Amino acid sequence: GENVEQHPSTLSVQEGDSAVIKCTYSDSASNYFPWYKQELGKRPQLIIDIRSNVGEKKDQRIAVTLNKTAKHFSLHITETQPEDSAVYFCAASNRNTGNQFYFGTGTSLTVIP
């Protein structure tokens, strides 16, 4: 089955700096890669996603890149703000696995004011 690895497990940045979180996956059939943000005590919420027919996607300060050959994808947050502090999860999925989502182990991001 699919195996998703996520690094780093913790990340601290100064406000205004950029943050990058990286994930790798093992199943070449995976074709959908969402990123979730989970604030303390809250549910995971989708912040951005990318499909395998696209190499990069941006939404304001957030961007995701995908390298299908190397089987890795990354989340980039620019101009970080204190409210970006949360746990971020990457995931991978494909139709062949019955719409199951395989999650990375999470990255705890702290933005220092």
Q: Of 95, 45, 105, 8, nearest to 62 (Cα)?
A: 45
Residue 67 lies near another protein (rule: CB under 8 A): no
Rounded Cα distance, 80 and 86, in Å: 12
State the DSSP H helix or E strand holding residue 19, giving kind and residue range, or none if neither: strand 19-25
77 DSSP β-pair partners: 19, 62
Residue 105 lies near another protein (rule: CB under 8 A): yes
Q: Between residue 40 and residue 59, which ones bind another protein under the rule CB under 8 A?
A: 42-46, 49
- Choice from 20, 32, 76, 110 touching another protein (CB under 8 A): 32
Residue 102 lies near another protein (rule: CB under 8 A): yes
List residues binding another protein (CB under 8 A): 31-32, 34, 36, 38, 42-46, 49, 87, 89, 93-95, 98-103, 105-106, 108
